[in-house]
């Protein structure tokens, strides 16, 4: 990995992972290094070759001391995980989930914004600018449950959702504080008319928590109506708070609404900063296009900007995001958003735009 030069130093663990992660992560680190040169900080990258290939060789997605190794860093920069020949629950629960839960990354932050000129499946995506705050360590994605009577006609599966007062209040508080710093509008995703225990509990705790935050208007919206509203008038949403499952689904839907899931960044945050936070794009490993040089690098690069902002490098993050906007508007573009250019072309254009912007400034 390359290094930037500067007075401030950040140590970042890199897990490129699988598929297109191995293509977009190196390019994103180049952009971040370029930002460091211009904005006076140094990034020390440490590459960890964990993922599906590691699993094929060792039978685990990462070594037993993986979390101890990652804990030595300021943040984790993650690419993607998943391979067609390994069950998804093995790859996810063997790598991403242990990091999220081991480092108490209770907030999954997913900004969604439409850049003018980017094609969208919606008739009118312009003005869409929201942040989805997803609860990240409990809820529907729990380990509680099991399967009984395997292979028989009476086989059944039980999966328990786990909602705690502490966990729900924590993510609601984060979302409310974020909404107070934006437009003051917070929408909570629920399904309390059909899920009679966990969702009314979610509604109650969210309402109680948000009531303590001045200047924030809360509304609850049933998840089915929420999905419809997301594709009819996404501009109405400012900050969204949702459970683990609902937040996962809504954020992918929102990303598609503004052009492509390949544009979407996310951060798995430990708000207290007791442990490293992990930053990963939303798009996944995309094995169908891996190795072809056509993956969109914007999601990974934007994820890098999100990481820099969290680390206190707001000017550098803003510079990267401004360059992304220009390139998305004027090109080059990858195929998923109507272009013909490759992964390297787009990443280089973003880096060049950053350099021009600095000269102009």
Q: What tens digit of pLDDT does each residue of 41-86 get?
A: 999 999 999 999 999 999 999 999 999 999 999 999 999 999 999 9
Verify that 293 and 164 share a domain, yes or no.
no
Establish whether 129 is a catalytic residue: no
Residue 25 has pLDDT above 70, yes or no: yes
Q: Which of 54, 191, 238, 345 is catalytic?
A: 191
User: Which helix (H) or strand (E) is 287 found in, with range?
Assistant: none
Do 246 and 175 share a domain, yes or no?
A: yes
Q: Is residue 13 part of a domain?
A: yes
Catalytic residue among 33, 238, 252, 336: 252
Same domain, 245 and 146: yes
Distance CA 227, CA 230 (A): 5
- Average pLDDT over the chain reads 94
Q: 226 is in which domain, residue-wise?
A: 120-258
Place of tokens 């293509």: 23
Catalytic residue list contains 54: no
State the pLDDT at residue 5. Answer: 54
The string over 262-299, giving b where at least 16 C-beta atoms fall within 10 Å of a residue's C-beta and e elsewhere, is: bbbbbbbbbbeeebbbbbbbbbbbbbebbeeebbbbbb
Q: Catalytic: which of 68, 88, 224, 330?
A: 224
Assigned domain for 113 exists: no
Decide if 336 is catalytic. Answer: no
Mean predicted confidence (pLDDT) in 188-208: 97
Is residue 14 domain-shared with residue 131, that is, in the same domain?
Answer: no
Residues 124 and 254 in one domain: yes
Q: What is the mean pLDDT of residues 169-178?
A: 97
This prediction has a pTM of: 0.92
Catalytic entry in 54, 141, 174, 348 = 141
Q: Which of 18, 33, 238, 248 is catalytic?
A: 248
pLDDT, average across residues 326-351: 94
State what percent of residues in the chain have pLDDT above 70. Answer: 97
């Amino acid at each position: 990995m390359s290094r930037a030069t500067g007075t401030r130093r950040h140590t970042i663990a890199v897990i490129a992972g699988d598929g297109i992660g191995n293509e977009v992560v190196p390019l994103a680190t180049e952009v971040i290094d370029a930002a460091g040169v211009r904005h006076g900080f140094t990034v020390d990258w440490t590459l960890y070759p964990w993922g599906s290939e590691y699993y094929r060789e060792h039978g685990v997605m990462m070594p037993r001391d993986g979390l101890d190794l990652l804990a030595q860093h300021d943040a984790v920069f993650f690419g993607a995980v998943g391979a067609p020949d390994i069950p998804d629950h093995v790859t996810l629960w063997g790598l991403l989930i242990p990091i999220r839960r081991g480092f108490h990354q209770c907030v999954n932050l997913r900004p969604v914004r439409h850049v003018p000129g980017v094609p969208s499946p919606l008739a009118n995506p312009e003005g869409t600018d929201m942040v989805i705050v997803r609860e990240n360590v409990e809820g529907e994605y729990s380990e509680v449950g099991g399967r009984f009577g395997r292979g028989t006609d009476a086989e059944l599966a039980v999966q328990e959702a786990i909602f705690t007062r502490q966990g729900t209040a924590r993510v609601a508080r984060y979302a409310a504080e974020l909404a107070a710093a934006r437009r003051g509008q917070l929408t909570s995703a629920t399904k309390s008319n059909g899920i009679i225990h966990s969702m009314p509990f979610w509604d109650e705790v969210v309402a109680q928590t948000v009531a303590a935050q001045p200047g924030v208007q809360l509304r609850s919206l049933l998840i089915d109506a929420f999905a419809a509203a997301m594709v009819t008038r996404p501009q109405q949403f400012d900050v969204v708070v949702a459970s683990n499952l609902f937040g996962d689904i809504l954020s992918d839907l929102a990303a598609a609404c503004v052009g492509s899931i390949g544009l979407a960044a996310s951060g798995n945050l430990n708000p207290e900063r007791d442990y490293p936070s992990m930053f990963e794009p939303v798009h996944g490993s995309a094995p169908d296009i891996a190795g072809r040089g056509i993956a969109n690098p914007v999601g990974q690069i934007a994820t890098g900007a999100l990481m820099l902002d969290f680390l206190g490098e707001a000017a550098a993050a803003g510079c990267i995001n401004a360059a992304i906007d220009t390139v998305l508007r004027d090109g080059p573009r990858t195929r998923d958003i109507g272009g013909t250019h490759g992964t390297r072309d787009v990443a280089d254009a973003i880096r060049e735009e950053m350099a021009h912007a600095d000269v102009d400034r």
